[in-house]
Structure 1
Amino acid sequence: HVSTDKPIYRSGERLYVRGVLLRADGHTPITTALSETVLFEIKGPKGDTVASGASAIIDSVAGFSWDIPPTQAGGEYTVRISHPAADGRAERKFDIRSYRAPRLKSQIVFVRDGYGPGDMVAANLHVERAEGGIPAGAKVSVSARVDGEETWKGTTTVDSSGNAGASFRLPAAIARGEGVIAMIIEDSGIVETATKTIPILLQTLDLAIYPEGGDLIAGLPNRVYVEGRTPARKPADMAGVVVNTAGREVATFRTEHEGRGRFSFVPAKGEAYSLRITEPAGIKTVFALPAVKASGVVISSASNVTPRLKDVVVRVGATSDGSYLIALSQRGKEFALKPVTLRANQLTDFTLAVPRSLDGVIVATVYDDRMAPMAERLIFRQPQHKLKVQIVPDRTDYVPGDKVTLRVKTIDYTGKPVSAMVGLTVTDSSVLEMIEKREQAPALPVMVLLESEVQNLADAHVYLD
């Protein structure tokens, strides 16, 4: 698992990289010397190697630094770390570009991830001073532009929590859908501007449709997941209906996070279904659902998340009586195998015992009596142990050049002190805020529990909140 000390660097600065090596089974530190070193490699925007090296592994951690040459070209770079015993390699992207660290840290968040012509847009701003504190009472001038024309402007103020909001209606007729909101913050002589693209959806969007177990099976309750993206690959919030060939509505849905949502229905044998977008208005594209299979197996998780130390419960149904096997595996290693008997067109819950230490993403697969896979889905189990890290500085305020002493304490979920290997990064938080929160690199728990199994981990911290 690899991380950098910040996401953006200037030419001439020093890049710090940390690699954490853990066992795939149990996420425990590597105490035996599988190999004494790991290899680091930095790739430039064109894929060329601009720096490389090796670093010793100490307490399951390896470090690497690179002095970025003053003449280094700007662009998106990638640092990769590899180990002979590791499955694949870990990598992290960072930018090299000229920038000025802002005096005010700000983030704009839209209430929804998609708007259409005539919709009411709601945007929330959160702002803090780079040196600490809330600019309460600061004036915020807001301007919205669509297709190059200013369509709304207004003013608001920052409250005592550092928040300010603005709402405005989009034009009823939009040609290209190029929208941007700008918020100019004035705080005691400091003026900073926060901007963000308005997620306007016009005639089309990219929609992926995923039946939970892999297929739509006739006569059984099926849960279906959807994921919407704009042509620019940003999340697209939406609402819609599912209809059959006669146009009769059989299900409704609304996305909840990152353009993702779900719905449930019982498909009929020989029928075809499609999805129509109702919000935002104006999207005429009709999206066909996968073909309905006359026979097969469905599988779903009995709960959104399996609590720590609890056994895994899956809900399984089949179109015909028979003997089946349910397997739980992680990274190709099987941890549970349970023979079950299914009755036609009936859903049954089955409990599978797994090791206490098994956490993160688990693959649940249903096999028929010939060991042919029939249905499969991913399940998330909360980690057995939860570590809390407390950092207490020796003073509340510092001036440039001061020496800082930090006291670090690690405790478990009961408040009991525990020993731990702690990695520290010190950087200007205002630089971190230059990257949209959903695009910021994941923290170590997300890397360990999700990153190797799940794609598109934008805004990933919410999954472990």
Structure 2
Amino acid sequence: LMGEMVDVTIDARYFFGGAVSNAQIKWVALGHDYYFNYQGRGRWTFQDFDYDRLDTENYIETSSGVWAEKVSEGEGVTDAEGRFVVRLPAGAANHPGSQVYTIEATVTDESNQPVSGRVRVVVHQGKVYVGVAPDSYLSQAGKTSRFNMIAVDWDSQVVPNQVVEYRIVERRWTSVLEKDTDGRMAWTWDLEEIEVASGSVTLDAEGKGQVEYVPPRGGTYKLYATTRDDAGNEILSSGFMWVSSPEYVSWRQRNDNRVTLIADADTYHPGDTAQILIPSPFQGETLALVTVERDSFLHTEVIHMTTNSYVYQLPIEDLYAPNIYVSVMLIKGIDEHTTYAQFRFGMIPVTIDTERLLMDVEVTPILPEGLETAGPGDTITLDVKTRDWAGNPVSAEVGIGVTDLSVLGLMSPNSPPLLEYFYSRRGLGIMTASTLTISADDYVQYVTNGRKGGGGGGGGYPGVIEIRQDFVDTPLWEP
């Protein structure tokens, strides 16, 4: 628990069991975010997380490729029993959320042979967790919107009557082109959080509650939820919501050709309509090619975006299960806001629940009249009924397999579940490209005052392609 002490005993022994005494030890404690694995229903966020955060200061890359923060490190010598105790406080002031500590120690024996070992310890920020989930990840400016909250303990059991303080802010980005360390122009950002609502809510007997607010304008909104356990530990979590508007929205500009698409839900069912926000960086009307993809194209559509927070409506069909990929290619021509043709590309995976594709098969044996059990040579009739997910009768092809129960008692079934076989998650077989990536205008902007990237050779400004435009008439006399 946050604020307590973590004691780790390092026990060094030879293969035959003897203690490795008076051996040099080097140890390091690494911490990375702990994501509470909620076992109940629904999808909740149980930590304070910024989708646009990229803070690598004080972080190192571990041998497994996972980024982790160095919490502490030290050296020591094992005692006569081959033991050494590492003692460090649980939790850091600059990291208030729950963490997983990985304590790794390397012992070097008298033959100068190093051997390493590690252990993981979960440091909880409190005795309870507060989960946050919006009714929908997408909303509209001026429309009443809702965030839901839930309080649970470490075992995912609800904690009733928990008092939660909340604060809802608009995350307003200001993007400015400035020179980077290489002398090229690149986007930099300033973030201002503007409070739009605050208060407290007491969760009910089922540990749940809800807050409402009205977003005044388009943009990104975040709810901070704070509570305390009976030991006084502060627990913090948050949730996000993206709001569209007919007015121009100042989304955070990126130094590449990508946009981040946002879906209104995590999972869909056939018959639902998915709403996908396209946060365009362009002003004015923009052309967009929307494609639904998997191993091939499932749907294509060209739309004219009159706002840079356009919400695309996608009806979910049966054939989209178990998953699809929605890609958007934005094309912006030259106008009063754009001096050269540009493009942006975004893609989002969409998961479709396969529960409704599963049939309920009921098999009832009908024995010969007058018999309670069947014997060798008897004829048994099997009454088979098939129903869909809603309990309605459906026509189906049915395969019957009869196996001696004693055989199944000797070994496990060797047939995989049919649903997983036919509807396991599928990969993407489509590649998207644009000739605008080799546009001369785009390349000049790329080198001089556009996105980050390398230059090249040539005269004039390094890397700039000078296109001949002045074609003077030249007389030719050929007697």
Instruction: Quickly name the TM-score band, shorter chain normalised.
Output: 0.3 to 0.5
Q: What is the TM-score with the length of structure 1 in the denominator?
A: 0.33
Task: Give the number of the structure whose alpha-carbon radius of gyration is greater.
Answer: 2
Q: What is the TM-score with the length of structure 2 in the denominator?
A: 0.33
